């Protein structure tokens, strides 16, 4: 990758903060819509089949924001269903849920490992329009390149520690979800962009 691991992390944290600071209305309006949509989906059977498309659309909206591309508030809800991509996103949602849940049930470490190597599954699906299996494969390969695995692991551990700390203060839980959801999504998108920009990183570029 370009620069040292420390530089990559600094850039990722700074970019995530900068986008939230420069486009607060877009970022947080979309986040409110996203969180409300997720809550509605969780309490309905049909919603569970719809939620992966909404997640994919939200991830794509954060990636577009990071890249400085124009977009309308709420457009991400329709974007996840465009061109039949909802089927691929549904497949990703099902496999991701089964894999990580089973991993955490059997042993914590396998579940944590899958969460790390599958961190970029959603981004690949919406950015490169890759299929279900290809998205998982490309994400795993991207994470296992150079020192990417250690960087992703550090980010995962950091987000987990902070989330657990905040969860102990119940009044802050909703506020944390509102602030952390866009920030860590943008952080993941920044890592994805930096990893792909590496001169040794070729995976996924041919899918543009």
37 CB contacts (<8 Å, ≥6 apart)?
A: 51, 54, 77
**pLDDT tens profile 83-108:** 788 889 999 999 988 888 887 787 77
DSSP single-letter state for residue 17: H
pLDDT tens-digit profile of 145-190? 888 999 999 998 988 888 887 777 777 788 888 899 999 999 999 9
Q: What is the pTM of this model?
A: 0.87
The count of other CB atoms within 10 Å of the CB of residue 205 is 10
Alpha helices, DSSP H, located in 67-147: 75-79, 85-106, 108-117, 121-127, 132-143
Dist. CA 114–CA 101, nearest whole Å: 10
pLDDT of 207 reads 41
Q: What is the pLDDT of residues 22-74, one digit of tens each?
A: 999 999 999 999 999 999 988 888 888 899 999 999 999 999 999 999 888 98
Q: What is the pLDDT of residue 3?
A: 59
Listed in sequence order, the residues at least 6 apart from 196 whose beta carbon sits closer than 8 Å to its beta carbon are 142, 203, 204, 205
Q: 95: number of CA atoms within 13 Å, CB side?
A: 17
Note whether 204 and 128 are within 8 A (CB): yes
- Start-to-end CA span in the chain (Å): 20
């Amino acid at each position: 990758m370009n620069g040292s691991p420390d530089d990559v992390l600094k850039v990722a944290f700074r970019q995530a903060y900068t986008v939230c600071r420069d486009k607060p209305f877009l970022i947080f309006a979309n986040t409110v819509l996203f969180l409300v949509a997720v809550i509605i989906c969780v309490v309905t059977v049909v919603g569970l089949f719809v939620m992966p498309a909404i997640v994919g659309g939200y991830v794509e909206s954060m990636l577009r924001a990071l890249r400085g591309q124009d977009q309308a508030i709420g457009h991400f809800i329709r974007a996840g269903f465009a061109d039949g991509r909802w089927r691929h996103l549904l497949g990703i949602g099902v496999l991701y849920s089964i894999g990580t849940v089973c991993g955490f049930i059997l042993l914590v470490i396998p579940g944590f490992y899958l969460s790390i190597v599958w961190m970029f599954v959603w981004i690949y699906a919406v950015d490169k329009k890759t299929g279900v299996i290809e998205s998982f494969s490309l994400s795993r390969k991207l994470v296992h390149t150079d020192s990417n695995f250690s960087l992703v692991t550090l980010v995962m551990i950091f987000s987990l520690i902070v989330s657990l700390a905040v969860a102990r203060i119940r009044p802050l839980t909703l506020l944390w979800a509102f602030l952390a959801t866009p920030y860590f999504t943008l952080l993941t998108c920044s890592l994805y962009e930096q990893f792909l920009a590496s001169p040794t990183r070729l995976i996924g570029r041919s899918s543009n």
